[in-house]
Structure 1
Amino acid sequence: MPGAVVARDERVTLRTFEREDIPFLQRAHANPEIRYQMGKPLKNRAELESWTDDATDRFVVCLDDEAASPGDADDAHVTPIGVVTVEDADWRRPELTYWLVPERHGDGYGTEAVSLAIDYTFRTYAHPAVGACAYESNDASRGLLESLGFVEEGCTRMGFFADGGYVDTVQYGLLRSEWDAANE
């Protein structure tokens, strides 16, 4: 069950990731439509528990109804639909990662969740930029980043093993000044 509200807009809420969210994470990672696209091996519960103990800011992307409490999410009023993370923020440029359950793709929730994560990152950390990465062939993810103002900064050839083969990854960056100017 997701925890307290970190950020919210009209449709999407970012809530703290709690140990009770591990079954949601495990079910999602077991879905080939998500796991193959992420290039991640299937993890058991113990592996996911250790993964959630790292220093990453990890949030559950939720759809809350009007009865949802800001401090504590009731399963009847909060529907988790994905995860967004802010990685490496304590020692270098933060890197955003994100995914949604397949049945929520194409509805704009990903763009809203990543936008909230960008706002959170720039409010919380003094870094001048954030980064993100997408598989070269993932037009939806690349389009999401570009729609938010990210600029392509480079390509890592054969950067990840995903869905049976190596794929190129495209690195993106977004300067704080660019984000501020676009959101004045």
Structure 2
Amino acid sequence: MLQDIPTPRLSESRPAVLQTQRLTLRKPVMADAIAVTELANDRRIAENTRRLPHPYSQNDAEQFVGSLHDEAATDAVFLIELDYRPIGMVGIDWREPDLPELGYWLGVEHWGRGFATEAVRAAIDYTFEEFAIDQLIAGARVANPASRNILEKCGFQWTGVQLHRFEAIGSSTPVDCFKLTRGVWSSLKNWASSTRR
């Protein structure tokens, strides 16, 4: 088990620009608020994301981005870019310090092309490499098999079903809950390395 240490703020970690085969992940800045608003203001996204309101305004985006630059911010949140164009967000929520939670969404036009899996894997690697945590948790609405598939492809293991409140629908709905332990993540990383040789 890892030694318990306070969760570091993002600014105490390495510079947060991650590169994957097709994507760049970076910390959002206020200039991104318009693009984030245009992407997130879609009911299909909000209904599958617990904390996104609908409609999603530019003020919502500005408040969110501003909160990431607050001195007390501990979230590791990334804007996902494809060819320098924002396409979504991925990040780790530390509201429960012992249970950091992965969350992600993509603009609808980018669904079904493997971008979410690629971005989620990068965020997972960053989190386990930079923070002393034993596991990540994540959830996906039972009615959202595509999101469950992403989590399973990234090594998450199903732990059960819980009811979670979704802001956009104004009620609770069943969510498949998952966890990814450091041991499983490490094994998957080692397997991937050995297959590339």
TM-score, L = length of structure 2: 0.77
Aligned to 1:97: 103
Q: Unaligned regions of 5+ residues in structure 1, if any? A: 65-77
Report matched runs for 1:1-184 at 5 Å.
6-39=17-50, 40-41=52-53, 42-52=55-65, 53-54=67-68, 55=73, 56-64=75-83, 78-88=84-94, 91-157=97-163, 159-160=165-166, 163=169, 166-184=172-190
Aligned CA-pair RMSD: 2.1
Task: Give the CA deviation at 1:5.
Answer: 6.0
Task: Give the CA deviation at 1:128.
Answer: 0.8
Task: Give the CA deviation at 1:99.
Answer: 0.6
Deviations 1:20-76 (A, max 9, x none): 111112112222222233253234333332333152221111113xxxxxxxxxxxx
Q: Which has the higher strand share?
A: 1
Mapped partners of 2:146, 2:183: distance in 1: 25
Amino acid at match of 2:27: T
Task: Give the CA deviation at 1:162.
Answer: 5.1
Aligned to 1:71: none
Aligned residues: 168
In structure 2, relative to structure 1, the CA distance for the partners of 1:89 and 1:161 (3 Å cut) is: closer
In structure 2, relative to structure 1, the CA distance for the partners of 1:33 and 1:123 (3 Å cut) is: same
TM-score, L = length of structure 1: 0.82
Residue aligned with 1:149, SS: coil
Amino acid at match of 2:59: A
Mapped partners of 1:110, 1:46: distance in 2: 25
Task: Tell which deviates more after alignment, 31-40 or 149-158.
Answer: 31-40
Contact 1:160 1:169 in 2 (8 A): no
| Identity over aligned pairs, percent | 32
In structure 2, relative to structure 1, the CA distance for the partners of 1:155 and 1:90 (3 Å cut) is: closer
Mapped partners of 1:25, 1:118: distance in 2: 22
